[in-house]
Structure 1
Amino acid sequence: MTDSLTAKSVTVIGHNGDEIEAYLARPETTEPRGGVVVIHHMPGYDRATKEIVRRFAELGYDAICPNLYSREAPGADPADAAAVARAAGGVPDERLLGDVAGAAAHLRALPGSNGKVGVIGYCSGGRQTVLTACNLDVDAAVDCYGAFVTGTPPEGMPFKVTNLVDQLPALRAPLLGLFGAEDKYPGPEQVAELEQILTAHGKDFEFHSYEGAGHAFFSVDRPSYNVAAANDGWERIAAFFGRHLGA
């Protein structure tokens, strides 16, 4: 771990060659290190997400969060940008993969990179993390309560989303899943379905569910924040990325 780091906004090349905004944090060290792509939650590219990016830099990684709503609402307040994105049906899966691939390439090109990149996402970003790990070459993936990896989205959802059941056999990276036992999306039955599918296909995964925790238990700025679950989750994330990314 290090207390010395730098953080700034940068531009990365995303899907279809688009230039998109991203937030990059780096530890001030000359040691070779892995990188982490942080996929923000549905509320957007907000202050809490940027704090998570800086935390990974403190843990010794280069970390970056692409602003998935850059195209819909460049420069907008995160809440306003998220509303615009929801009204447009959310971020298409193909575009998400292109943006994450661009962020990962940016990390691998940085001086000091050891070439390894992990990905982590929260809420909608948790689903997108699994999507990434099924389609891109990453070294580790962490799904924090991603909804609709399995299961069926309810009618009336304000955005377009499908589950990833048909893609799960193609999972390419070790997966850590952290879930709240009191969550509804994903509920315990959806987590169990995901575990069964991954087990049947011989995938490398590790799941933990926290009693008394609901959705968004990592969110320090929301009533759903659960100190015990979040602290334990951070310890597991640090250990998991430490094994797979070499920091």
Structure 2
Amino acid sequence: MSTPLLAIEGLTAGYGGTPVLFGVDLAVPAGGALALMGRNGMGKTTTMRALMGLVPPRGGTLIFDGTSLRGLRPHRIARLGLGLVPEGRQIFPTLTVEENLVATAAPPRPGLAPWTLERVYALFPRLAERRRHFGNRISGGEQQMLAIGRALMTNPRLLILDEATEGLAPLIRAEIWRVLSVLKGEGLALIVIDKHVSALAGLCDQVAVMEKGRVVHAGLAADFAEDAGLVGRYLGV
């Protein structure tokens, strides 16, 4: 079996004196797509924040393309090739769309087609139309497109999306899923947190379900989506 692009083993982390993660194991192969699912408050975002160095891991290993991420600052982790689309988008409200994109631009990676303004605008034509608009003057759907474009401008090898389509209108959600399918088809590895089981199953190869800071189910995304019992057990309210 080939070595995964990302391997997380035994990850523990928390906030202050409160533990949140209890031995999380995840793996993503090069070009693969993992759906990370679970009810609210089960540790999904904390896992991604620990991966990106925004929450200090307390234990376990995080290996990306042979390099340990433990102890690295977020900007160094990003330079290694991990791009984050955070929950809530967190774009720069007083910068224009184009300034938001340029602000995170990083050099291209050998062997990969570089992400440029032109390429982002081709992926999201609406951003090209809004390129001179400030971040706080565009719609929520456009802000999510911008957050994805901003992450792509770092030229990542793995793109992480936390709540990829939360709060978006159906047409915008469909556009985001289309774009993610295009990116996967181009060989970009993905970790996607979202609540839309069928859409995730259509995009992702594997699924990991979290409950109370642990991975309680892992397997094929399509199989999980087709098992109403599993979906109800782990995602039902």
- TM-score w.r.t. the length of structure 1 is 0.31
- TM-score w.r.t. the length of structure 2 is 0.32
Of structures 1 and 2, the one with the larger relative CO (CA 8 A, separation 6+) is: 2
